[in-house]
């Protein structure tokens, strides 16, 4: 289904749309206030973007450096070229440890690789331990946002969900009660887990360690209690040196939620005594994106979610309308690179307002890349016959003043004289909820000619 | 001193549907004593095609644009988004000296008044409560003002002009630079979201006691006006050129 169709369904419940929009706008405003407090914010963004550009230009070297430093610390490093390989590697580690229960701290990469259904089919219990992720997991839905995965759910909906799955009492959506019940439920899962899986926010080439940012401390809790830790990262998560963390940690949390820094920034540099640590470095289409010059900067992304919060379309259509692991503006650039056909409507799900590019902490020119994708899609994908005919004709008309004059006059004549039902019919999307402009007697060309004659 | 020659660019939809906006623009420029010409045979900057992914098919329109305007010192038009298109997306043409000249010298009307002519007071009076809709292409594209996402001092070309209009009360909005949802063909292909965004934008103006919504991009205003008229809301819509040209 196209984005516009899903968005239309989401928009049937206007009160819910308003609530969704307000919730995300609130986060966007928190981000503004918090960024205002940092002197040189725009400089910091520049710096972040520059470091990322350097990383992408020397990705091979940084990855090799990272691997060798990680190995020195006793970390097992694995490479996966795609989602299947990633999942198989995870499974082989679980088999080695005879693990039946896994706790996971938020990782969009494992979502991207569809790790949960893969492991569940093998009889392994996988529990997402981030509260938002746990909520969508119970609801059997994908996350609708990369930082606020359950932002599309009201607390009343969560209440019902918890009653069904965790056996809680009806509480009218009392947040303290719901959180404390979730905590009890998760504590039990943490204690019984054999292996902990985490994502990676930053992988530091010169130390060989990784950093995971969470607000609930669930990454630490999982890792400290389990026998083994598997950290899954995309190849683009590398930063050259530990000192660069100062730039990214400041940018990340402020852009994401307006916090100065996430509650926990957990550094994992080697396994604890008697335990094992694994890192899986995953490509899964990233090298291909890197090879597309117009779109390579999309790999700067540090997954803060700010472009989603600011996007006026995302706020009113919900993350699920994008039908991709990473929704919103950045997802609309990443997804056509993975499957052009399936995601060809996403680069059009934007007014190109540019707010995403302004907000992005690593200065990705998001709206310009959306414009570029549109050109690629029209060339490579079959277009609706009518749309194509209209636009091709427009191209011809607009290049010929005589034709343009005639077409302009006819269109104005039609608008003025045709019965309303012809203009306001189902095929006319403009007229569904909007009136058409009132037509004046003369266009400007005619007025101008007359004035010059009289004058 | 040689008088600067200005080529007046009137976007296609303004020409056909909003001649009053074009007239106000022309009269304003004439009042300021610049040498204004209106090249006959102009059509469109090609933006609707480019934004729909048909950039290739827009080359004819873009070349015609350059042909029409290459001889002027400045090209001025009452539409931020069209000017943005000329400046940023004419990179699909071969960059001849003429193309480069046209791209460098294209100005949105307010920007031209303030930055090039250096005037902010046009002697207008308009005793009404006005809400300013900052079009995204003007604001974030042409940088006509500071954006709420970007950290730095506040500035706004349109506000500078409106603040000098006698009797005009510029109302402050809750979301001062949110997109209206027009977005060219977006308004048709993403009808539901486009309408919802427009409705929300209008509500902000209503909540802020606005009588007249203005802006430097009539395409956004056309979309908002379509909703206002359909829903019979107590708001008027006027292009900023009309306000700057009025003496009530
Ligand atoms: S594209 Fe930029 S704003 Fe969007 S999630 Fe990535 S880093 Fe954040």
pLDDT digit string (tens) for B10-31?
Answer: 998 898 889 999 999 999 999 9
SS3 B160: helix
Look at residue A338 and tell me if it is in a domain: no
Residue A71: the pLDDT is 98
Q: Is the pLDDT of residue A436 over 90?
A: no
Looking at ligand 1, which residue's alpha carbon is closest to its atom 7? Answer: A301
Q: Can you read off the two tokens belonging to residue B196?
A: 């919802």
C-alpha closest to that of A303 among A280, A326, A333: A326
Q: Which mutation among A56, A304, A354, A355 tests ligand 1's pocket best, with the greatest number of atoms within 8 A of CB?
A: A304
Final residue belonging to a domain, choices B65, B90, B116? B116
Residue A451: the pLDDT is 86
The arithmetic mean of pLDDT across residues A405-423, rounded, is 62
Integer Rg of chain A from CA: 26
Q: Is residue A189 located within the same domain as residue A61?
A: yes
How far is residue A50's CA from residue A39's CA, in Å, rounded to a whole number? 18
Look at residue A339 and tell me if it is in a domain: no
Look at residue A310 and tell me if it is in a domain: no
pLDDT digit string (tens) for B74-113?
Answer: 999 999 999 999 999 999 999 999 999 999 999 999 999 9
Helix H segments across A141-265? 155-166, 175-192, 218-225, 245-257
How far is residue A429's CA from residue B188's CA, in Å, rounded to a whole number? 5
* C-beta atoms of A377 and B60 within 8 A: no
Mutation site, B91, B173, B190, B215, interface A, largest A CB count within 10 A: B190
Q: Is residue B241 located within the same domain as residue B139?
A: yes
Look at residue B144 and tell me if it is in a domain: yes
Decide if A401 contacts B42 (C-beta within 8 A): yes
Q: Is residue B108 located within the same domain as residue B198?
A: no
Which tops the pLDDT comparison, B206 or B60?
A: B206
Look at residue B122 and tell me if it is in a domain: no
Look at residue B123 and tell me if it is in a domain: no
Q: Is the pLDDT of residue B38 over 70?
A: yes
Look at residue A83 and tell me if it is in a domain: yes
Nearest to B193 among A317, A378, A411 (CB): A317
Reported as half-sphere exposure (CB side, CA atoms, 13 A), residue A382 has a value of: 2
Residue A226 phi/psi, 5-degree rounding, is: -90, 165
**CATH number, residue A212:** 3.40.50.10420
Q: How many structural domains are present in chain B?
A: 2
C-alpha closest to that of A432 among B224, B218, B191, B237: B191
Look at residue A164 and tell me if it is in a domain: yes
Final residue belonging to a domain, choices A284, A313, A333? A284
The DSSP 8-state label assigned to residue A415 in this structure reads H
Q: Is residue B182 located within the same domain as residue B91?
A: no
Q: Is residue B85 located within the same domain as residue B190?
A: no
Q: Is the pLDDT of residue A455 over 70?
A: no
Final residue belonging to a domain, choices B64, B90, B116? B116
**With a 6 A CB cut-off, is A302 part of the ligand 1 pocket?**
yes
Segments forming the whole domain that contains residue A176: 38-284
Look at residue A309 and tell me if it is in a domain: no
Segments forming the whole domain that contains residue B160: 129-245
How far is residue B90's CA from residue B93's CA, in Å, rounded to a whole number? 6
Q: Is residue B95 located within the same domain as residue B148?
A: no
Final residue belonging to a domain, choices A284, A301, A328? A284
CB pairs under 8 A between A and B: 204
Q: Is residue B111 located within the same domain as residue B150?
A: no
B152 min Cα distance to partner chain A (Å): 8
How far is residue B10's CA from residue A230's CA, in Å, rounded to a whole number? 61
Look at residue A429 and tell me if it is in a domain: yes
Instruction: Reduce the secondary structure of A34-51 to three states and give it as a string.
Output: HHHCCCCHHHHHHHHHHH
Final residue belonging to a domain, choices B116, B141, B174? B116
Task: Give A369 Cα–ligand 1 centroid separation in angstroms.
Answer: 13
Q: Which residues of A touch B190 (CB under 8 A)?
A: 3-4, 7, 313, 348-349
Q: Is residue A261 located within the same domain as residue A394?
A: no
Q: Is residue B61 located within the same domain as residue B86?
A: yes
Q: Is residue B136 located within the same domain as residue B240?
A: yes
Residue B75: the pLDDT is 96
Q: Which residues of A touch B151 (CB under 8 A)?
A: 35-36, 38, 41-42
Look at residue B121 and tell me if it is in a domain: no
Residue A338: the pLDDT is 94
Look at residue B133 and tell me if it is in a domain: yes
Final residue belonging to a domain, choices A255, A284, A313? A284
Q: Is residue B146 located within the same domain as residue B227?
A: yes
* C-beta atoms of A444 and B19 within 8 A: yes
Residue A427: the pLDDT is 57
Q: Where are the beta strands (DSSP E) in B162-221?
A: 169-170, 212-215
Q: Is residue B23 located within the same domain as residue B83?
A: yes
Look at residue B33 and tell me if it is in a domain: yes
Mutation site, B30, B179, B215, B231, interface A, largest A CB count within 10 A: B179
Looking at ligand 1, which residue's alpha carbon is closest to its atom 3? Answer: A360
Q: Report the C-alpha dihedral over residues A37, A41, A45, A47, rounded to 10 degrees.
A: -120
pTM to 2 decimals?
0.94
Q: Which residues of A touch B54 (CB under 8 A)?
A: 378, 391-392, 395
pLDDT digit string (tens) for A16-60?
Answer: 999 999 999 999 999 999 999 999 999 999 999 999 999 999 999
Q: Can you read off the two tokens belonging to residue A417?
A: 């004289």
Q: How many structural domains are present in chain A?
A: 2
Q: Is residue B11 located within the same domain as residue B106?
A: yes
Q: Which residue of A has its CA nearest to B17?
A: A439
Helix H segments across A99-217? 108-112, 115-121, 131-138, 155-166, 175-192
How far is residue A156's CA from residue B11's CA, in Å, rounded to a whole number? 50
How many Cβ atoms from other residues are within 10 Å of residue A60's Cβ? 10
Q: Is residue B13 located within the same domain as residue B69?
A: yes
């Amino acid at each position: 289904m196209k984005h516009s169709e899903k968005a239309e369904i989401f928009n049937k419940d206007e009160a819910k749309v308003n609530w969704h929009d307000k919730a995300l706008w609130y986060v966007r405003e928190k981000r503004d206030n918090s960024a205002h407090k940092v002197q040189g914010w725009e400089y910091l963004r520049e710096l972040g973007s520059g470091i990322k550009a350097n990383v992408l230009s020397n990705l091979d070297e940084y990855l090799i450096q990272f691997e060798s430093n990680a190995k020195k610390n006793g970390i097992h490093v694995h490479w996966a070229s795609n989602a299947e390989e990633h999942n198989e590697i995870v499974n082989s580690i679980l088999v080695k440890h005879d693990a039946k229960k896994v706790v996971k701290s938020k990782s969009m990469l494992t979502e991207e690789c569809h790790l949960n259904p893969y492991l569940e089919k093998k009889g392994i219990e996988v529990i997402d331990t981030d509260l938002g992720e746990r909520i969508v997991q119970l609801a059997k839905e994908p996350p609708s946002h990369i930082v606020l995965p359950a932002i599309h759910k009201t607390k009343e909906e969560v209440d019902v969900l918890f009653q069904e799955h965790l056996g809680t009492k009806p509480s009218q959506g009392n947040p303290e009660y719901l959180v404390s019940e979730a905590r009890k439920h998760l504590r039990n899962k943490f204690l019984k887990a054999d292996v902990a899986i985490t994502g990676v926010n930053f992988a530091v080439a010169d130390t060989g360690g990784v950093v995971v940012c969470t607000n609930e401390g669930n990454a630490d809790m999982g890792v400290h209690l389990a026998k083994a830790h598997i950290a899954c990262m995309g190849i683009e998560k590398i930063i050259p040196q530990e000192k660069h963390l100062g730039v990214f940690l400041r940018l990340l949390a402020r852009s994401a939620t307006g916090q100065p820094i996430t509650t926990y920034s957990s550094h994992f540099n080697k396994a604890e005594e008697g335990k094992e640590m694994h890192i899986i470095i995953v490509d899964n289409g990233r090298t291909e994106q890197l090879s597309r010059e117009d779109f390579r900067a999309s790999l700067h992304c540090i997954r803060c979610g700010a472009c989603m919060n600011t996007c006026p379309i995302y706020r009113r259509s919900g993350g699920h309308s994008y039908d991709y692991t990473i929704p919103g503006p950045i997802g609309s650039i990443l997804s056509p690179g993975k499957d052009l056909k399936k995601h060809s409507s996403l680069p059009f799900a934007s007014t190109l307002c540019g707010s995403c590019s302004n907000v992005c902490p690593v200065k990705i020119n998001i709206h310009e890349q959306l414009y570029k994708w549109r050109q690629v899609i029209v060339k490579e994908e079959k277009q609706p016959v009518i749309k194509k005919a209209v636009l091709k004709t427009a191209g011809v008309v607009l290049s010929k003043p005589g034709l343009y004059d005639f077409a302009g006059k006819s269109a104005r004549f039609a608008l003025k004289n045709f019965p309303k039902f012809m203009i306001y019919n189902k095929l006319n999307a403009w007229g569904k909820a909007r009136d058409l402009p009132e037509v004046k007697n003369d266009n400007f060309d005619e007025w101008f000619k007359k004035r010059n004659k009289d004058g | 001193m040689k008088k600067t020659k200005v080529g007046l660019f009137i976007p296609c939809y303004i020409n056909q549907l909003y001649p009053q906006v074009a007239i106000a623009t022309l009269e304003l420029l004439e009042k300021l004593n610049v040498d204004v010409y209106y090249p006959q045979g102009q059509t469109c900057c090609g933006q609707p095609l480019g934004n729909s992914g048909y950039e290739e098919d827009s080359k004819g329109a873009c070349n015609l644009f350059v042909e029409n305007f290459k001889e002027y010192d400045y090209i001025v038009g009452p539409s931020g988004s069209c000017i943005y298109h000329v400046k940023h997306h004419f990179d699909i043409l071969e960059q001849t000296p003429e193309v480069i000249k046209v791209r460098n010298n294209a100005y949105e009307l307010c920007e031209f008044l303030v930055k090039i002519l250096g005037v902010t007071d046009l002697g207008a009076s308009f005793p009404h409560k006005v809400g300013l809709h900052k079009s995204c292409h003007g604001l974030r594209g042409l940088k006509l003002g500071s954006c709420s996402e970007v950290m730095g001092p506040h500035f706004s070309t349109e506000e500078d002009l409106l603040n000098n209009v006698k009797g005009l009360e510029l109302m402050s909005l809750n979301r001062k630079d949110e997109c209206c949802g027009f977005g060219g063909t977006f308004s048709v292909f993403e009808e539901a979201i486009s309408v919802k965004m427009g409705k929300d934008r209008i509500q902000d103006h209503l909540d802020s006691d606005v009588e007249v919504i203005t802006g430097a991009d009539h395409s956004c205003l056309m979309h908002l006006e379509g909703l206002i008229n359909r829903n019979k809301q107590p708001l008027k819509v006027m292009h900023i050129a009309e306000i700057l040209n009025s003496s009530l």
